[in-house]
Amino acid sequence: MEVSPDRQLVTQLLQQWSGGNKQALDELMPVVYEQLHRLAANCLRSERPDHTLRATALVNEAYLRLVDANVTWQDRVHFFAVSARLLRRILVDHAKSHNRQKRGGEFQKVPLDEAVVVGPQADKGLVELDEALNRLASQDQRKSDLIELLFFGGLTYDEAAAALQVSPATVHRELTLAKAFLYRELGQGAI
C-alpha cells in the first residue's frame, strides 16, 4: 500500500515536532486543519441545533490542548486518535459545564411557558454516552478506544485497525460488541 505525500508529510512534521522543532507545529496545522475541522463538525452534527460550541471553536480549543500536550507522536493515525480523545473530552466538559449552569450556576428567571418548550437535553445525552464509554473502558479499553476513534475521531476502519494494531476484521467484530454494550447501557434507540 502506497502512502500519500500528505500522510507522509503529516508523519514527518509530527516526528519533527516531537523532536523539539516548534516550527514543525506551525507547518503541521494548515495541513491537518481541514481534517480536524471535519472531525469537529462530525462531532457536533449530533448535538442540539442551538449548541453554543461551533466546529471552529472546537478545533481551536483542541489546538490549544495539543500544543500543551506532552506526546511523542508516532504518525498521522496516532495524531488523529489523540485528537479524537481531545474532541470528546472538550465536548463532554462543555456539556457538563452547560448542565451545571442549568442547575443554578447562573441563576435566570425563566417564564414557565419557555421552560416547558425546552426539548430533550442533548448535553445530558453526551454526558451519559461519556459515562457509558467509561464503563465500557473499565471492562474492555480497546472497545472503548474503537468507538472513540471511529465516532469522535472520524477514522476509517483501516485507520482505527492500524491505531489499535488489530486487523480490520477485529475492528468489525469489536465494534458490533461495543455497540451492543452501549445499546444496553443507554437504552433502546440511543445508538
Local mean pLDDT, 10-residue blocks, the chain (191 residues): 68 89 87 83 64 74 82 84 83 73 45 33 66 91 88 82 90 91 75 48
At 190 the pLDDT is: 47
Q: Cα torsion for 107, 112, 113, 118, to the nearest 10°?
A: 50
Beta strands in 15-158 (DSSP E): none
- C-alpha cell of 38? 471535519
How many whole angstroms separate alpha carbon 15 and alpha carbon 158? 22
How many whole angstroms separate alpha carbon 184 and alpha carbon 190? 9
How many whole angstroms separate alpha carbon 51 and alpha carbon 145? 25
Residue type present at position 72: T
At 49 the pLDDT is: 57
Distances, alpha carbon 160 to alpha carbons 23, 116, 128, in Å: 28, 42, 24
Quick check: pTM over 0.75? no
> What is the DSSP code (8-state) at residue 2?
P
At 166 the pLDDT is: 93
